[in-house]
Amino acid sequence: MSIWAQAWEFLSTGVNWTGQNGLTRPTFDGGWRFANDSILALSIEHLYMSFAAVALAALTALPLGITLGHARRGGGLTVALSNVSRAMPTLALLTLFAASAIGFGNRAVILAAAIFAFPLILTNAFTGISDVDADVREAAEGQGLTRLQVAVRVELPLAWPLIAAGLRTSASQTVATVPLAALVAGGGLGVIINTGLATQRYGEVLAGGVLVAALTLAVDAGLGALQRRLTPRYRRTTSLVSA
Amino acid sequence: MEDAPPNPWLSWRYVESNWSELSAQLANHATLTLQAVAIALALAFPLAVLARNVPWLTRPILGFTGVLYTIPSLALFALLAPFTGIGRTTVLIGLVVYALLVLVRNIIAGLEGVDRDVVDAARGLGYSRLRLLWGVELPNALPSIVAGLRIATVTTVALVTVGVVVGYGGLGQLMFRGFQSNYRAQIATSSILSLLLALVLDLTIVMVARASMPWARSRRAS
């Protein structure tokens, strides 16, 4: 049987979606975890881990980026951070965490994914705010707006397209990165890929890869639609190579 | 637990006694990266020129490279394995695929960013299309291409580590084994080496680019 047929069989079998015993499993300490044999449960876990990572990154990076951008200071810092994060292998961070007090499992993976989402959100927030036309800022200040009002009512709306693009790109990147969690005993759709690899059922590996790619594209499309709705019409531009 | 042997993050003794393995994996890592980026660049350039010159091909090419990027690296390496076997070729193909996207996008952006007046002037001087591309557009797009090359190289260094799923992850091999045996020195040393490799390659590109773009240097100096 070809790999494609195997993948189709895996994906078209109902019990693979719902799991043998439902979406959750009790743990020994009375809690619960997502079932490892259910595509639905693993997808929900995958989305939850990605969302938690991006939210954690956004909650720290946005205020910092907006503040630094408003002060037009710290440009070198943001560039350096994004360069280092590109060079740092995700696997290195995950294994470093695992051997330290942070440990492994989902919480460590969320933290690692947040660290990788952080620089992109920070850079875009910083660039968006600090690139606002100086004349526009001066005009706003001349009309008697306070610094806070300038930041919230002038700079933020003008920087929004770039900030939104940063959030969107980092979200889809995170969804595509979280599968690595399976290498260090984490959950999410990577579990399907890793299990398939370990048991040499490559159809399942393919199915897992297709599921992650579909989830990434869906998240990107969903956030893209949201981004368009939240962007004022006069700020909508179409560029061929906008990230 | 008090009798537990020390498990330091940094240990010179580890580096000394495992240098042959460390250097072998470092060499693997470096050659894989260079080979992948070179192949990706050779493929990306014609693709980008094609995408720019044939308008109805632009969206499909960008869309295709975009979709490739959403495939998790873990799955791509694992999936290539049954076809190309366990080992170097598999990792290389995966790395080329991921480097392509960054390069194609940046080359297109660079070519699109060339001043229209400059192109018009060259055309007025009777430049052929090929000479226009090679002698005018390419040098003008070089900063953007170099930027893409730097990103592609640095991300490739990081991505090689995922090759561990097919047993050919360069320094990632050591990271993963360190994880399995909770050997801190092994994880930390291979992580640092991988960061250093990215830094060295990045700096090399910057310096080569500077040497090959004397006009950019003089502009900044004046």
The closest of A122, A152, A123 to A59, measured between CA atoms, is: A122
Cβ–Cβ gap B165/A96 under 8 Å:
no
pLDDT digits over B169-191, tens only? 899 999 999 888 888 899 999 99
**B149: contact with A, CB 8 A cutoff:** no
Task: Kindly state the tokens that stand for A193.
Answer: 């890929």
pLDDT value for B36: 95
Q: What tokens does A89 get? A: 């292998």
Which residues in chain A touch residue B206, judged by CB atoms under 8 angstroms apart? none
Q: So what's the pLDDT on residue A241?
A: 47
Residue A243, pLDDT score:
41
Calculated CA dihedral for residues B143, B147, B153, B155, nearest 10 degrees? -170
pLDDT at A50: 94
Put simply, the answer to whether B74 touches A92 (Cβ < 8 Å) is no
Question: Distance, in angstroms, between B144 CA and closest chain A CA?
Answer: 12
What are A34's strand-pairing partners? A24
**Mean pLDDT to the nearest integer, A126-155:** 87
The closest of A71, A112, A74 to A91, measured between CA atoms, is: A112
Whether the CB of A183 is below 8 Å from some CB of chain B: the reply is: yes
pLDDT of residue A240: 44
CATH number, residue B166: 1.10.3720.10
Task: Kindly list the structural domains of chain A, giving each domain's residue range(s) and its CATH number in brackets, ordered by start.
Answer: 3-15+34-235 (1.10.3720.10)
The domain in which residue B186 lies consists of: 19-221
User: Is B12 part of any domain?
Assistant: no
Mean pLDDT of chain B: 86
| pLDDT for residue A239 | 46
* Nearest residue to B202 via CA among B140, B141, B145, B146: B146
* Contacts (Cβ under 8 Å, ≥6 apart) of A42: A34, A36, A187, A188, A189, A191, A192
From the list B47, B46, B86, B42, the residue with the least C-alpha distance to B68 is: B47
Q: The tokens of A38 are what?
A: 């259910």
**Does residue B112 fall inside a structural domain?**
yes
ipTM of the complex: 0.79
Q: Count the domains in chain B.
A: 1
Residue A58 confidence (pLDDT) = 95
For residue A25, what are the β-bridge partners? A33
CA A227, CA A232: separation in Å to the nearest integer? 10
Residue B211 has pLDDT above 70, yes or no: yes
Do A98 and A104 contact (CB within 8 A), yes or no? yes
State the pLDDT at residue A220.
87
A91 part of contact set with chain B, CB < 8 Å: yes
Q: Does residue B3 have a pLDDT over 70? A: no
Q: Is residue B171 a part of any domain in this protein? A: yes
Q: Which chain A residue is nearest to residue B82, measuring alpha carbons?
A: A202
pLDDT tier at B135, thresholds 50, 70, 90: confident
| pLDDT per residue as tens digits for the range A148-170 | 888 888 888 888 888 888 898 89
pTM of the predicted structure, to 2 decimals: 0.82
Tens digit of pLDDT for each residue in A81-97? 888 888 888 888 888 88
Residue B120 in any domain: the answer is yes
